[in-house]
Amino acid sequence: MKTILIRKVMGETLRELRVNAGMTLREVSMASMVSLGYLSEIERGHKEASSEVLFAVASALGVSLSDLMISTSGKLLALEAERMTRLAA
């Protein structure tokens, strides 16, 4: 069974928020002062971002850090429930 990685779920959440905001990676990079390459790696789930970086990116996207964490937590909860359902079957 595949391991659930928080960095992957966080990256997916950030990408969804960015796309929904109609922003490019470059725009978010400039607004958050996070390098384009590093931001791309975060979105792809290859790098784990510090709380400071997450705060900067969330702010650039117009969401609070707590809203970002709540969205990510909800996705993790769904993935865990799906995993438990598969294990029980």
pLDDT reported for residue 3? 84
In the chain, domain spans: 6-88
The tens digit of pLDDT for each residue in 57-82 reads 999 999 999 999 999 999 999 999 99
19 Cβ contact list (under 8 Å, min separation 6) = none
Whether the Cβ atoms of residue 17 and residue 68 lie closer than 8 Å to each other = yes
Q: Where are the beta strands (DSSP E) in 2-89?
A: none
Q: How far apart are CA 53 and CA 32, in angstroms?
A: 8
Provide the residue type at 29 as one letter.
S
Can you identify the CATH homologous superfamily of domain 6-88? lambda repressor-like DNA-binding domains (1.10.260.40)
Whether the Cβ atoms of residue 10 and residue 50 lie closer than 8 Å to each other = no
Binning pLDDT at 50, 70 and 90, where does residue 1 land? low
Provide the residue type at 19 as one letter.
V
